[in-house]
Amino acid sequence: MAEEIVKIGKNKKSTILQMVKEILPDGGNLNACLTCGACSSGCPATGLEGMDARKFLRMAALGMDEEILKSNWPWMCTMCQRCIYVCPMKIDIPQLIFNIRAMRPREERPKGILESCNMALKNDTLSAMGTTEEDFQFVVEDVLGEYQEAQPEFADMEAPIDKEGAEFFLNQNSREPVTEPDEMVPLWKILHLAGVNWTYGSKGWAGENYCMFIADNDAWKHMVQVKADMVHKLGAKTYLNTE
């Protein structure tokens, strides 16, 4: 009986089933999943689309590729990895989710994050809002000047861009310089009062990576490389991720 449970779905040519075997411990033993439901208990996406992590993994293990690929649930997963932390067998469900996202044709992936990824690839700021280097510098300098004038106690506060040798390379949510520029200031103040040596980069300053969320490996790699190259160029010691 146990032998047959392990072989469920054996007559299907299941790509997803092979993925499951690769991410399960001990060489792909499907009995490694205890169906305990711990993965679902803390999952933010549990209940959405009538799905949860435990059910999703079992569907994958049973070779239900067609049903899985039609489901929108993989796009609702935050990939927070809570499921891995609580799983007694440490099954990497987020990796499975990522691989399944990559199986959907790129043009059919969720429009919002797809367009944000495409926008981020238009220039080396990597801004999902399409903000150029010149526009970002203008906003930072304009907002900084306003606060220096309005709040004398911060008259010598800095918000440097491309400062060489800084301790920290700071990233920034793409939306804030465009729609909520004042939201950048509180962190500037904290860094100023703490005496932190930091800088933005004119390139690679955007903090989010939508290309990762749509499972576009090449675009994801490009974005990370632009950030890394800029950090190294400026000689910063730490990449400070605000996202």
Every domain of the chain and the residues it spans: 9-104, 111-240
- The answer, yes or no, to whether residue 26 has pLDDT greater than 70, is no
The per-residue b/e assignment along 192-231, b for 16 or more CB within 10 angstroms, e otherwise, is: beeeeebbbbbbbbbbbbbbbbbbbeebbebbeebbeebb
- Mean pLDDT over the full length of the chain: 89
pLDDT the model gives residue 7: 42
- The answer, yes or no, to whether residue 85 has pLDDT greater than 80, is yes
- The answer, yes or no, to whether residue 30 has pLDDT greater than 70, is no
Stretch 25-53: mean pLDDT: 82
Residue 238 main-chain phi, psi, to 5 deg: -135, 135
- The answer, yes or no, to whether residue 179 has pLDDT greater than 90, is yes
Q: Which of 173, 151, 167 is nearest to 234 (CA)?
A: 167
The per-residue b/e assignment along 78-98, b for 16 or more CB within 10 angstroms, e otherwise, is: ebeebbbebbebebbbbebbb
Stretch 203-207: mean pLDDT: 95
| Alpha-carbon span 239 to 79, nearest angstrom | 22
Query: Which band of pLDDT confidence, cut at 50, 70 and 90, is reported for residue 6?
Result: very low
- The answer, yes or no, to whether residue 188 has pLDDT greater than 70, is yes
Query: Which band of pLDDT confidence, cut at 50, 70 and 90, is reported for residue 5?
Result: very low
- The answer, yes or no, to whether residue 73 has pLDDT greater than 50, is yes
pLDDT the model gives residue 46: 94
pLDDT the model gives residue 32: 72
pLDDT the model gives residue 93: 87
- Provide, rounded to the nearest whole percent, the portion of the chain with pLDDT above 90: 71
Stretch 49-55: mean pLDDT: 92
For 179, counting Cβ atoms within 10 Å of its Cβ (0-12 exposed, 13-18 middle, 19+ buried), the class is exposed
- The answer, yes or no, to whether residue 49 has pLDDT greater than 50, is yes
CB atoms inside a 10 Å sphere around CB 143: 19
